[in-house]
Amino acid sequence: MNYEEFSGIALFNGLSEVEIEACAEHFDEVEVLTGTELTHQDDFGYAFFIVLDGHVEVVIDHDVVASLGPGDYFGEMALVFDHKRNATVRASERSRLAKMMNWDFQELIEKNAILARRVEAVAHERAHE
């Protein structure tokens, strides 16, 4: 992944090109087909995802509770709180995502306080929804 892929994503607003490049190199690009399950409710979390193209739906107890599109991210709650997944997330159309493994996610938020605050704020907000 590279700077161009992430420069327009709100999560990275205000970071320098060097900081964004450092983040981007820890992500892998993943393309998925409609219906592909990316996370499963009650499983342990192992990855953080950013939607680059397409859309995914967030499902809790068989009910669709949200739709996420380009620039949105998910998977942070299980990693921030060290809990099992609170939702299943599946592609609602062919989608392209950036995927970061847990150990890279932990390193990223330890090294970048801005990202840590943003991700933790969203995780807390989603936990209270």
The answer to whether 106 and 79 have CB atoms below 8 angstroms apart is: yes
Is pLDDT above 80 for 81? yes
pLDDT in tens, 106-122: 998 898 888 989 998 88
**Is the pLDDT score of 129 beyond 80?**
no
**Predicted model pTM:** 0.92
Number of structural domains found in the chain: 1
- Residue 117, C-beta contacts closer than 8 angstroms, at least 6 positions apart: none
CATH (domain of 100): 2.60.120.10
* Domain region containing 82: 30-127
Q: Is residue 5 part of a domain?
A: no
Residue 17 lies in a domain: no
Does the structure show a pLDDT above 90 at 90? yes
The token pair that represents 31 in the structure block: 């393309």
Residue 3 in domain: no
For 19-74, write each residue's pLDDT tens digit.
Answer: 899 889 999 999 999 999 999 999 999 999 999 999 999 999 999 999 999 999 99
The closest of 107, 41, 108 to 75, measured between CA atoms, is: 41
Which one, of 60, 59, 55, 119, lies nearest residue 91 by Cα? 55
